[in-house]
A and B are shown apart, each in its own frame.
Chain A
Amino acid sequence: MTADRSSTPPLIELEGITKTFGKGEAAFQALKGVDMRVERGDFVAVMGPSGSGKSTTMNVLGCLDVPTSGIFRFRGVEVQALDRDQRSLLRRRYLGFVFQGFNLLARTSAVENVELPLLYRGEKKAVRHAAAMRALDQVGLAPWADHTPAELSGGQQQRVAIARALVTEPAVLLADEPTGNLDTERSIEIMQLLTRLNGEGITILMVTHEEEMAAFARTVVRFRDGLVESVEHRERAIAGEVG
């Protein structure tokens, strides 16, 4: 599998992606022709000032939004041609999301939150529970399985959210400012967790505006004015240090 990686298409390919919001006079072009590729197993930090198009790109990459023009291939499949339900199924099967605001269901225990994606896969209760407990264990929260979000700290909530993203064993984990609501110490913990998961083989795409967090990534993509400004590949010094 790793041997003939060159013959398989990259996990993600963006070619000339544009995105225009609104029409006529009020039209605003958020993306002006983005080209980008992400290989399997990479840990990509997407950076850039607000309004640079990084969030719009992440929405496209997360199959939540479709580009106005251009080609988006995910595992060789052209996503822009898929309808809403097909994109939902793609997310269900291959993608895991971590948000800045955690976005856990309130008054619902950690384990029930983590089980949620499996409900939509129609898994049986025992399977759901076992997988959710495994995912919580991966993020070190198994003892807090029965706590509701209100009973957990911000860092713990974000770890529950990561467990929810992991429980379906996705190909890609998309993290939108995962440390934006956390203090430095918690942020480092979350980044170490993501680095470890990346070391276990999961591809990570992360939006951040903090250089400190971007330092954990292998690849840093910088956006400016709706275009990719630079792509920087790094040695995985940090990953090695944690691993």
Chain B
Amino acid sequence: MLGMFGATLLLAFREIRRHLLRSFLTTLGIIIGVAAVITMVTLGNGVTASVTSQISSLGSNVLIVFPVRGDRGAPRPFKQDDIDAARNQIAGVEDVSGSVSSSATAFHNGQSWQTSVQGVENAFLRARSVEVEEGRPFSNEEESAGKSVCLIGPKVRQAIFVAGASPLGAKVRLDNVSCTVVGLLKERGEGGGPDQDSDNVVMMPLKTVQRRFTGNDDLQYFVIKYDSAYASTTIQASLVALLRERRLLQGTAANDFNVVDTAQVNQALGAATGALTAMVAVIAGISLLVGGIGIMNIMLVSVTERTREIGIRLAIGALAREVQLQFLTEAVVLCCFGGVVGIALAFLLSWSMAGVIDVPFLFDPLVNALSFLFSALMGITFGFYPARRASKLDPIDALRHE
């Protein structure tokens, strides 16, 4: 039996070799289908990984709270009292920090650079996992007195400081406010949350920014870092209840603020990219199906074209099932060939496209193996009917066929 299978395989290879161009064109559908499925899944994985790493740079177990337009009109900002209430009245809250920001032009040594000034407390740095690479965060005294000190982002440093020179202790002028650089922020990439660019920023104590830039004691949003032992939903429920009470929202009045959990954003984005990947994979799957029908078509043509050959084989003693096995093997070998070429093509495509769209290239062995198995399965599915037809031929009629 093994000998027979080997012989069948040999015959299949001979037949494919005999019609090299036709075989290639026939399998093109499978090649494109397999390549598309694998490329899409691989790139989808890359995008998901990249989004996940950006989101996790926001910090985990963090809620971001910001005012939105409510029933009573324009968004009402938060005040320091809201922050204190959240800190003191909700169980599981570790750190709360409000934030305000304003755009400003930074000047140093004759250079200028458009950036944003963000007023924060040290608690904000902890909650959002903002790291100080050189120097130090704000001191308590600087925070409570609203001193003119600042932490500068890597892009600001690059723009207005000479490369190599330490900016620590230097004076930077922001619009008309002069401040002393006490620390350098570590590069964070694009995951900046509500702010556009987390690396192009100058951070100053909250009070300093309120006093010198915004001119009021409003907070644009605040972040809460909570103990991971508490469920996010519990904390959110308490927070919503507290804020509704403080903002005098009664009965069915809509919330005029939003609470966002970074983990939920992460999940939502993951689900979105997953759905997109699945959709594209389904489309690619349809192209695989079309490829399979192409295989069936060519196999049927091949059976008709080779009727005489089938007659010869039957006359010299081939069993019906051996003829069937031969044609089935041809279809499977064709499809597997398409699968292998498709996998190679997908590797090249996803590797180069991952570079272009700047996501990590994550080779997924499972998807590759499944795609290959699937293409073999297509060979069996779409090769079965033509092979059956070949095996049913009457040897006398087949030999007479012109």
Chain A interface residues toward B at CB < 8 A: 59, 62, 64-65, 84-85, 88-93, 95-97, 99, 103, 105, 107-108, 112, 116-117, 119-120, 122-124, 164
Contact = CB atoms under 8 A, between A and B. Distances in A.
Interface of B: 3-4, 7, 10-11, 14, 18, 308-309, 311-322, 395-396, 399
Given A64-B395, A105-B309, A116 B3 contact: no
Contacts of A93: 317
B320 A84 contact: yes
B312 A119 contact: no
A81 to B, nearest CB: 18
A193 B161 CA distance: 100
B315 A64 contact: yes
B316 A97 contact: yes
Given A92-B318, A105-B309, A120-B7, 11 more contacts: A64-B395, A85-B319, A85-B320, A88-B317, A91-B315, A92-B317, A93-B317, A95-B317, A108-B14, A119-B11, A120-B322
B315 A97 contact: yes
A103 B399 CA distance: 8
Contacts of A96: 316
Given A64-B396, A122-B4, A122-B7, A88 B14 contact: no
Nearest to A112: B14
A207 B313 CA distance: 21
Given A64-B395, A64-B396, A120 B317 contact: yes
B312 A91 contact: no
A116 B313 contact: yes
B314 A124 contact: no
Contacts of A59: 396
B323 to A, nearest CB: 10
10 contacts: A64-B315, A65-B396, A88-B317, A88-B320, A89-B319, A95-B317, A97-B315, A103-B312, A105-B309, A120-B318
B7 A89 contact: no
A120 B4 CA distance: 7
Given A59-B396, A65-B396, A105-B309, A91 B3 contact: no
A112 B317 CA distance: 16
B316 A92 contact: yes
A108 B311 CA distance: 16
B316 A116 contact: yes
Contact of B319 (A88, A112, A116): A88
Contact of A119 (B7, B311, B320): B7
A19 B321 CA distance: 27
Contacts of A91: 315-317
A85 B11 CA distance: 21
A124 B316 contact: no
A84 to B, nearest CB: 6
B308 A103 contact: yes
A103 B311 CA distance: 9
Contacts of B308: 103
A1 B4 CA distance: 34
A122 B312 contact: no
A235 B13 CA distance: 50
B139 to A, nearest CB: 86
A237 B315 CA distance: 33
Contacts of A164: 316
Nearest to A94: B317
A17 to B, nearest CB: 16
6 cross-chain pairs, A with B, having the tightest CB-CB distances, nearest first:
A92-B317, A122-B3, A91-B317, A119-B7, A117-B316, A64-B395
Contacts of B396: 59, 64-65
Contacts of A95: 317
Contact of A62 (B14, B315, B318, B321): B315
Given A112-B14, A120-B322, A88 B7 contact: no
A25 to B, nearest CB: 23
